Amino acid sequence: MHVWLCENPVGAEALVWKELPTPEPKAGEVRVAIRAASLNFPDLLIVQNKYQMKPPLPFVPGSEYSGVVEAVGADVTHLKPGDAVAAFGGTGGFATHACVAASLVLPLPAGFAFDDAAAFILTYGTTHHALLDRGALKAGETLLVLGAAGGVGTAAIQIGKIAGARVIAAASSAEKLELCKAIGADATINYATGNLRDELKALTGGKGPDVVYDPVGGDLAEPVFRSIGWRGRYLVVGFAQGGIPALPLNLALLKGASIVGVFWGDFARREPKANAHALAELAKWYAEGKVKPVIDQRLPMRELMRAYELMGSRKVRGKLVMTND
């Protein structure tokens, strides 16, 4: 098999496309012939040694992928060779094959495209958990999505609309906001050119959003939290801008508002039954055409460096998917 191997986590440029022996699955594992893998922001951080999870060296990056089961280890009963699957292994996806714990593998229903499946579990699992579980988003409420043209942002627009919310999408360019409108956003804000607080006030009649979905962090957090509505829920999803904000806690008191952490990976580990129920609901929505990953580009697996460059440019709309054709 071939893998993109990280032996020195100083950046994507240090990854090496390398041939290794194809492994046999251990007890409780399956080996997947990878058809597609998506690039997520943590995949950029992990090869720079900046992510909270630091796998032992050497490792193969690539947190989520899809493909076909080739072999199963002992004690695996719910999967068999030939099954189409998606996996969230945390690492291993930027390769032609991977062995992964069977508990982290989701059988794909008929008609679920491999490229969509590779861009689905992390993005939509995180967003379902954030909006419907942690944020308790209700029909008729207003949802503000920051970084709305990214992978999790586009998922938040779609799930927000399914929940019956009014969705305000905020992003950094007119092109990105056009995409947000196309997938269902009710209103948009360009925070690179406009005054975010003023526009939020105008769009909400001075009330502010009920729920904020924030995968961006940085200097957007405080002005947005100052604009949140009474009993608002501020969902801390990630820090794509780089900086981790420090919010004055008196704002939470004055607004009767909640700052809510969203850590889908640990939720999936600690509450597997609840996570399985959420993923089943998401798969149903996909089959019904209610959700679909927005894929900016599909690139051959050997062009992973190009994908990292695109993600680093912050011009990607939706997801980048690598394929083994």
CA distances from 79 to 117, 222, 278 (A): 17, 47, 20
Question: Which one-letter amino acid corresponds to residue 224?
Answer: V
CA distance 144 to 126: 16
Ordered per-residue pLDDT tens for the chain, 325 residues? 999 999 999 999 999 999 999 999 999 999 999 999 999 888 988 999 988 789 999 999 999 999 999 999 999 999 999 999 999 988 999 999 999 999 889 899 999 999 999 999 999 999 999 999 999 999 999 999 999 999 999 999 999 999 999 999 999 999 999 999 999 999 999 999 989 999 999 999 999 999 999 999 888 999 999 999 999 999 999 887 777 888 899 999 999 999 999 999 899 889 989 998 999 999 999 999 999 999 999 999 999 999 999 988 878 899 999 999 8
Q: Are strands 84-88 and 64-72 parallel, antiparallel or unpaired?
A: antiparallel
Position 89 scores a pLDDT of: 87
Residue indicated by tokens 């009014």: 166
pTM recorded for the entire structure = 0.92
DSSP structural state of residue 55:
P
Position 279 scores a pLDDT of: 92
Domains and CATH numbers, the chain: 2-120+293-323 (3.90.180.10), 123-265 (3.40.50.720)
Report which secondary-structure segment, H or E, holds 223: helix 221-227
R_g of the chain, CA atoms, integer Å: 20
CA distance 295 to 321: 7
Position 178 scores a pLDDT of: 97
Angle (deg, nearest 10), helices 121-128 and 272-287: 110
Phi then psi for residue 97, to 5 deg, are -145, 155
